[in-house]
Amino acid sequence: MIVGDSKPLEEILEMIEGKDKVLVLGCRGCVTVCNVGGEKEVGILATALRIARKKRGLPTSIEERTLERQCDPEYIEELAEAAEGYDAIVSIACGVGPQFVAERFPKVRVFPGINTTFIGGALEHGVWSERCQSCGNCLVHNFGGLCPIARCSKSLMNGPCGGSANKKCEISPEVDCVWHLIVEKMAEMGRLEELERVWPVKNWITSRDGGPRRRVREDLKQ
């Protein structure tokens, strides 16, 4: 899923300064799963904004709404009638949400209420870890099911580097050295020899380096 972090309340208050009627807009997709932008969080943020604005003697009209998804125009359309009645919409979906909403309703000011951080998964309740950088050409099966692109701080394909110590990455004792894990895993699987191969340079065209990506599926297009 796409994982995100709430923006500090103060930053959101600044964004909506001078805007009287505000909508906090959630999404039932990834951000609901990672507890940052679902219906519950919409309620929490709206309440916090009301309290803060009340204290400062500002208008407290903060409405709440959560769409099925914000990365699909079909659901954004549900706002068609209401959208222009707001001075500001704070979307707490991933970065796609505020863009889709702003595109559909050009007259309304739209703000991102969360910081979209990475594609990852939950390790335990309340802990997520980055797992993929959407490089566009998945190779994880060659590395024991671990991604060296997203999980090695240097995206090394022939790691581990000389900074790997005690299973941790040179950048922080909090970060696992994925290359240590790869070597361990491949050894366990009896596939260590495969890692002796010199991995050739990666073709980054399929990644963001090839320019913004777009996908057309003729079989699905109407």
Partner 1 sequence: MKAGSNLEKVLAAGHFAVTGELGPPRGNNAEEVRHKAHYLKGIVDSVNITDNQTAVVRMASWAACKILIDEGLEPNYQMVCRDRNRIALMSDILGATALGIKNVLCLSGDHQRFGDHPEGKNVYDLDSVQLISIFKKMRDEGKFLNDKELDGAPGIFIGAAANPFADPFTWRAVRMGKKIAAGADFIQTQCIYNLPKFREFMKMAVDRGLHEKCAILAGITPLKSVGMAKYMAKFVPGMDVPEELVKRLQGVDKKAQGDEGIKIAIEMIQEIRETIPGVAGVHVMAIEWEHRAKEIVEGAGLLPRPVVD
Choose the stretch contacting partner 1; rule: CB under 8 A; options: 2-10, 55-63, 107-115, 178-186: 178-186
The answer to whether the beta carbons of residues 128 and 34 sit under 8 Å apart is yes
- Comparison of 60 and 117: residue with beta carbon closer to ligand SF4: 117
Kindly state the DSSP code that residue 136 receives in the 8-state scheme: S
Options 7, 28, 65, 167; binder of partner 1; rule CB under 8 A: 167
- Comparison of 28 and 168: residue with beta carbon closer to partner 1: 168
Counting every residue written for the chain, the total comes to 222
163 forms part of the interface with ligand SF4 (CB under 6 A)? yes
- Comparison of 15 and 140: residue with beta carbon closer to ligand SF4: 140
DSSP string, 8-57: PHHHHHHHTTT--SEEEEEESSHHHHTTSSSHHHHHHHHHHHHHHHHHTT
9 forms part of the interface with ligand SF4 (CB under 6 A)? no
**Token pair 């954004």 in the structure block, residue:** 76
Options 1, 9, 102, 132; binder of ligand SF4; rule CB under 6 A: 132
- Comparison of 132 and 157: residue with beta carbon closer to partner 1: 157
What are the angstrom distances between the C-alpha of 58 and each of 25, 54, 189, 208?
20, 6, 62, 42
156 forms part of the interface with ligand SF4 (CB under 6 A)? yes
Options 5, 56, 134, 194; binder of ligand SF4; rule CB under 6 A: 134
Burial label for 137, CB within 10 Å (0-12, 13-18, 19+), is exposed
Q: Which residues on neighbouring strands pair with residue 54, listed in sequence order? A: none
Tokens of 135: 């490089």
The answer to whether the beta carbons of residues 9 and 52 sit under 8 Å apart is yes
How far apart are CB 201 and partner 1 at their closest, in Å? Answer: 5
2 forms part of the interface with ligand SF4 (CB under 6 A)? no
195 forms part of the interface with ligand SF4 (CB under 6 A)? no
157 forms part of the interface with partner 1 (CB under 8 A)? yes
Choose the stretch contacting partner 1; rule: CB under 8 A; options: 51-59, 89-97, 158-166, 214-222: 158-166
Q: Which of 125, 155, 127 is nearest to 143 (CA)?
A: 155
Q: Which does 183 bind (CB under 5 to 8 A by kind): ligand SF4, partner 1, none?
A: partner 1
Binding site for partner 1 (CB under 8 A): 153-168, 170-172, 177, 180, 183-184, 195-196, 198-202, 204
